[in-house]
Amino acid sequence: MLRRVGMLIVQKYGGTSVGSIERMKAVAQRCLATQRQGHDVAVVVSAMSGETNRLLALAAQLHDDTSDREVDVIVATGEQVSVGLVALAIRAAGGKARSFLGDQVKIVTDSAHSRARIVSIDAAPLRAAFAAGEIAVIAGFQGVDDKGNITTLGRGGSDTTGVAIAAALDADVCEIYTDVDGVYTTDPNMVPTARKIDKISYEEMLELASLGAKVLQIRSVEFGMKYGVKIHVRSSFSDAPGTWVVPEEQSMEAVVVSGVTVAKDEAKIVVDDLPDTPGVAWRVFAPLADANIVVDMIVQNQAWDGTTDLTFTVPAIDKKRTLDTLRQAIPDIVGANGERMTADDEICKVSVVGVGMRSHAGVAKRMFQLLAEDNINIQLIATSEIKISVVVAKKYAELAVRVLHEGFGLSKPPGERAGLI
């Protein structure tokens, strides 16, 4: 994907990339190099690394609710300092630049402090800056509600700012600069043969959340999908291309499996001997929802002898709270002492993801075969259109990932994976 002359490029730099004056000078050089190629450049920057935590710690000495109007006023200063400094760095390097805060680009959000959602953006001030030959340096993470209160978008919100600015400007690409060089087929620390993914669909990226969350806020991907913004995740330490997150293309289906993920922070809850009557599932999950416990996988087996059983997973830290909640809410179902429930947090969830699954019938079969060959017992199975997840004992986590990564040929370039399924 070579750049045409005269494109409009949004570049987003994270906290590490602007973590020092020296790093900011490097950012300035990259922005100017892009502008010199004939492009208009908007830069979205995060707070210097560590700054948001420092500000939150100050506020925490006075207040323990971080979703507060005043906490947003305080933490928003992190990005404000960054935009001023990056604008100065660009000017120090001979360029023209102007900083923009959330209320100066009119990044209007709802009023949900600390987790606000973007409603609209006024691109006019940015276009005026481009017309004046300036690089627009925009504060990430922050917005302003319709009453003029400062809001913030939540952790990693600068990614969403970047993609939203790109959408508002109808930019050719939103480049997300980070300290890794892209999204990998699996965690490279676990599987040394993991490969950088060159191109991936929004849907796959969302399913690969546990891989991608480290480099890209998931909400920014949803935003990109909604507005068709091409996202390029790449390293601020090199010029090498990273991973493009783009609308699904015909050719992507040839790549049956794009990545393998593992989540080790879930617990499995089994409820046995449930009456096989309408409304039972509702009676189980309603109290959990009321207690704000997020349920992930849910599997109910075929009824047998008038009873059935129900298995689901919750965050491991909520295991005890889940058992307590159900024992108090539905003792008639789980037993007065919860004796019809069992819980296990020595599990992990391993998933394979790929848009090609839609047209390839054999992925599940191949996955189960690969695991069986290494005697890894499957405790639970759940599928979506482009993902298959299995729960296995936690001790098999790394083995299962490696076996699937090799078995689906992810160590090889996409073109050389044919015939594996």
Q: Binding residues for its own copies, per CB under 8 A?
A: 21, 24-25, 55, 58-59, 61-63, 68-71, 73-74, 76-77, 80-81, 83-85, 87-89, 91-92, 97-99, 101, 103-104, 148, 150
Q: Closest approach of Cβ 74 to its own copies, in Å? A: 4
CB neighbour burial string for 91-112, b if at least 16 within 10 angstroms, e if fewer: eeeebebbbbbbbbbbbbbeee
Q: Closest approach of Cβ 32 to its own copies, in Å? A: 14
Question: At what angle are helices 157-169 and 124-131 packed, to 10 degrees?
Answer: 70
CB neighbour burial string for 231-249, b if at least 16 within 10 angstroms, e if fewer: bbbbbbeeeebbbbbbebe
When the beta carbons of 85 and 215 are compared against its own copies, the nearer one is 85
Q: Which residue in 198, 170, 164, 160 sits closest to 1, CA to CA?
A: 198
When the beta carbons of 133 and 362 are compared against its own copies, the nearer one is 133
When the beta carbons of 59 and 397 are compared against its own copies, the nearer one is 59
When the beta carbons of 10 and 87 are compared against its own copies, the nearer one is 87
Q: Closest approach of Cβ 69 to its own copies, in Å? A: 8
CB neighbour burial string for 350-384, b if at least 16 within 10 angstroms, e if fewer: bbbbbbbbeeeeebeebbeebbeeeebeeebebee
Q: Closest approach of Cβ 62 to its own copies, in Å? A: 4
Q: Closest approach of Cβ 72 to its own copies, in Å? A: 8
Cβ atoms 221, 245 nearer than 8 A: yes
When the beta carbons of 107 and 256 are compared against its own copies, the nearer one is 107
When the beta carbons of 20 and 377 are compared against its own copies, the nearer one is 20
How far is Cα of residue 26 from the mean position of the Cα atoms in its chain?
A: 26
Alpha-carbon radius of gyration of the chain: 24
Which residue type does 298 have?
I
Q: Closest approach of Cβ 167 to its own copies, in Å? A: 23
